């Protein structure tokens, strides 16, 4: 008999700010969802760094993680991810070293290579960078250095951070981070929830080129997917129109608060916009419990992921809670092997 392994489910949260709400409301909703996710048995709860977006509240990622960690007990918390080009590695090491010191054994550091914003905002974040030199591999290794044991003659230490061995993940939506994660022996998370095109190629590249590390002797691949669940397929499709509108607005260059759902999304987009949005959101599972179970099992069969992360931008907080609750009811069915 073939041994099977249960595949954990995790949560990605952008701390969405619905139309008519304030960031404070989004933070309270994120804490509530994190507390429920812990109770429902999710493995991790990650926040994503974005800037200059009035519909996303998780810009100060490490600060918000501290708020969520203080209000939970056991669920792992982390970044999905910190956009490393925006920061000096030492500062990130100190921030996540502080979190790990306060909440030991619960903190993950997921790193992204994109700025998570537009060019003008990127310059406001790191004005001295020209953007012509890719320092990401060097910065990742510098972070590893700051979380490792103090070396003889080490002039600069992360305090706190040094010796805490905070787990580092690499995030990506292309082949670049898959290759780097394989080279460095790090876990890898693919952002197929908004950029699905290279998912299978990236996973293959990561696994075939993986170089074992002490902490990760085997490759560990996580796949992120959108899931909007409700008690009926029709209700789920209605809720999903908020995320579709959000992507329409992004394509138009006018991001804003998360819109309320609409009955007829087709009245809002052009044919070209429909094609682009549906392509970007093609890795989305929308429906009731049966639909969600089938969709996640299919995703697991096709990707052989070691972990699945679920994103769900839903306007109404209670509906969002219900969506993740439905997802949690199928987690014990997700097995590989």
**Per-residue pLDDT reduced to its tens digit, 127-176:** 555 554 578 999 999 999 999 999 999 999 999 999 999 999 999 999 99
* CATH number of 150's domain: 3.20.20.30
By DSSP bridging, strand 335-336 and strand 5-6 are antiparallel
- State residue 128's pLDDT score: 58
- C-alpha span between 264 and 258 (Å, rounded): 17
- C-alpha span between 287 and 293 (Å, rounded): 10
- C-alpha span between 139 and 85 (Å, rounded): 8
**Which contiguous run of DSSP H or E holds residue 171?**
strand 168-172
- pLDDT below 50 — which residues of the chain? 1-2, 132
Phi-psi region of 190 (alpha: psi -120 to 50; beta: other; left: phi over 0): beta
Q: Domain of 114?
A: 5-336
* Residue whose token pair is 């949005």: 277
Q: Is the peptide bond before 81 cis (omega within 30 degrees of 0)?
A: yes
Question: 105 is written with which tokens?
Answer: 């054994």
Half-sphere exposure at residue 174, Cβ-oriented, CA atoms within 13 angstroms? 4
* Residue whose token pair is 């989004």: 26
- C-alpha span between 195 and 295 (Å, rounded): 18
Q: What is the pTM of this model?
A: 0.94
- State residue 209's pLDDT score: 98
Structural domains of the chain, count: 1
Summarize pLDDT for 31-57 with one digit per residue, the tens: 999 999 999 999 999 999 999 999 999
Question: 9 is written with which tokens?
Answer: 């489910």
- State residue 149's pLDDT score: 97
- State residue 1's pLDDT score: 34
**Which contiguous run of DSSP H or E holds residue 228?**
strand 221-229
Question: 272 is written with which tokens?
Answer: 């070209």
Residue partners of 274: CB distance under 8 A and separation at least 6: 266
- State residue 38's pLDDT score: 98
- State residue 222's pLDDT score: 98
- State residue 120's pLDDT score: 76
- State residue 2's pLDDT score: 46
- State residue 5's pLDDT score: 87
């Amino acid at each position: 008999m073939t041994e099977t392994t249960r595949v954990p489910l995790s949560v990605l949260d952008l701390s969405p700010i619905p139309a008519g709400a304030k960031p404070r409301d989004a933070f309270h909703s994120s804490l509530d969802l994190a507390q429920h996710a812990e109770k429902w048995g999710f493995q991790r709860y990650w926040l994503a760094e974005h800037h200059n977006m009035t519909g996303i509240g998780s810009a100060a990622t490490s600060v918000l993680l501290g708020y969520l960690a203080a209000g939970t007990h056991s669920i792992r918390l982390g970044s999905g991810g910190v956009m490393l080009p925006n920061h000096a590695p030492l500062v990130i090491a100190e921030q996540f070293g502080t979190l790990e010191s306060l909440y030991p054994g619960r903190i993950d550091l997921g790193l992204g290579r994109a700025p998570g914003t537009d060019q003008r905002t990127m310059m406001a974040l790191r004005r001295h960078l020209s953007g012509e030199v890719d320092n990401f591999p060097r910065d990742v290794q510098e972070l590893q250095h700051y979380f490792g044991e103090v070396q003889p003659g080490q002039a600069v230490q992360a305090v706190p951070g040094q010796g805490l061995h905070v787990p580092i993940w690499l995030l990506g939506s292309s082949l670049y981070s898959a290759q780097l994660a394989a080279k460095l022996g790090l876990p890898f998370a693919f952002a197929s929830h908004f950029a699905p095109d290279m998912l299978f190629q990236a996973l293959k590249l990561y696994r075939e080129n993986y170089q074992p590390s002490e902490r990760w002797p085997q490759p560990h691949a996580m796949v992120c997917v959108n899931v909007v669940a409700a008690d009926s397929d029709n209700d789920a499709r209605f809720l999903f129109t908020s995320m579709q509108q959000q992507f329409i607005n992004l394509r138009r260059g006018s991001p804003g608060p998360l819109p309320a759902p609409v009955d007829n999304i087709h009245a809002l987009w052009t044919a070209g916009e429909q094609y682009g949005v549906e392509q970007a959101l093609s890795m989305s599972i929308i429906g009731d419990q049966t639909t969600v179970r089938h969709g996640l099992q299919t995703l697991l069969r096709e990707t052989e992921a070691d972990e699945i992360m679920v994103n769900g931008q839903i306007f109404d907080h209670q509906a969002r809670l219900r969506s993740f609750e439905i997802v949690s009811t199928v987690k014990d069915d997700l097995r590989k092997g």
